[in-house]
Copies of this chain bind each other. A is one copy, B any other.
Amino acid sequence: MPKILVQAPVVQHITIANLINKLTMYMPGVAVQAVPGQFIHLRVSDSCQPLLRRPLSIAAADAAKGTVSVIYRIVGTGTARLAELKTNDVVDVMGPLGTGFDPECSRPLLIGGGMGLAPLVFLARWLCPRPLEVLMGGRTEQELFWLELYKKTCDKIHVTTDDGSVGQRGFTVDALPGLLAAGGYDRIYGCGPRPMLEKIAVLACRFGIPCQVSLEEHMACGVGACLSCTCAGKAGKRKKVCTDGPVFWAEEVF
């Protein structure tokens, strides 16, 4: 699976919620190879302002159409630049990068917090037609535009919000013990803030369910060359989030 550099035209760029956009680009070479959990590394400006690329998870890849989509939140300069892209503008993209999720399971539970739900959209589609459940957490009702993106692929959608405006009040991890006790899952996939993933890993271990998590670190190269993204791994071995991950077995990194 070679990593490639492409000048990808924008096919569609839509706002799906407040400050959340979905960007679809034409890059057949990436689309045909991509697996869920992998990411692309986008150049957001042709000047050196900002200088570095921005990593975004692949939220959809359509090998037939040759398109790859990302779902991103506008949080700073780089994503604000990205938001200016119009149809047919060309984006400089490296991809697909990193190691994706392992699909060997029959009753998975997907757990996503915030933008961690973006790569899981792709994963859910990929795992179809397995019976699928997703546990999603957001701060308020406003973040639950994700429901729409999961309803076709998932049989059951469990929702928590910090303020209780939709679903159960609290965090995903508060709802998790109950779900796991009800049982039946043979795999957990988690993506979201690190504290959430750590708690998921503990519970997964307790319930004896194999668990994969997707990590985030600040990245310069995206290909394992700069060591800006490494995290502590098992037995003191460092892991590169950009190439050894972003997806890891929970016990590799926690």
Binding site for B on A (CB under 8 A): 45, 47-49
Can you name 5 A-B residue pairings with CB atoms under 8 Å? A45-B47, A47-B47, A47-B49, A48-B49, A49-B49
Closest chain-B Cβ to A79's Cβ sits at a distance in Å of: 15
Measured between beta carbons, the chain B residues less than 8 angstroms from A45 are 47
| Interface secondary structure of A, over-half rule | loop
Closest to A77 in B: B47
Closest chain-B Cβ to A71's Cβ sits at a distance in Å of: 25
Closest to A45 in B: B47
Distance A49 CA – B51 CA, assembled complex (angstroms): 11
Closest chain-B Cβ to A209's Cβ sits at a distance in Å of: 48
Measured between beta carbons, the chain B residues less than 8 angstroms from A47 are 45, 47, 49
Measured between beta carbons, the chain B residues less than 8 angstroms from A49 are 47-49
Closest to A50 in B: B47
Closest to A46 in B: B49
Ordered nearest first, which 5 A-B pairs have the shortest CB separation?
A47-B49, A49-B49, A48-B49, A47-B47, A45-B47
Measured between beta carbons, the chain B residues less than 8 angstroms from A48 are 49
Distance A45 CA – B45 CA, assembled complex (angstroms): 12
Distance A192 CA – B49 CA, assembled complex (angstroms): 34
Distance A5 CA – B31 CA, assembled complex (angstroms): 48
Closest chain-B Cβ to A87's Cβ sits at a distance in Å of: 16
Closest chain-B Cβ to A191's Cβ sits at a distance in Å of: 32
Which of A45, A47, A48 counts the most B-chain CB atoms under 10 A from its CB? Answer: A47
Distance A48 CA – B51 CA, assembled complex (angstroms): 12
Closest chain-B Cβ to A110's Cβ sits at a distance in Å of: 39
Closest chain-B Cβ to A119's Cβ sits at a distance in Å of: 30
Distance A49 CA – B48 CA, assembled complex (angstroms): 7
Distance A47 CA – B47 CA, assembled complex (angstroms): 9
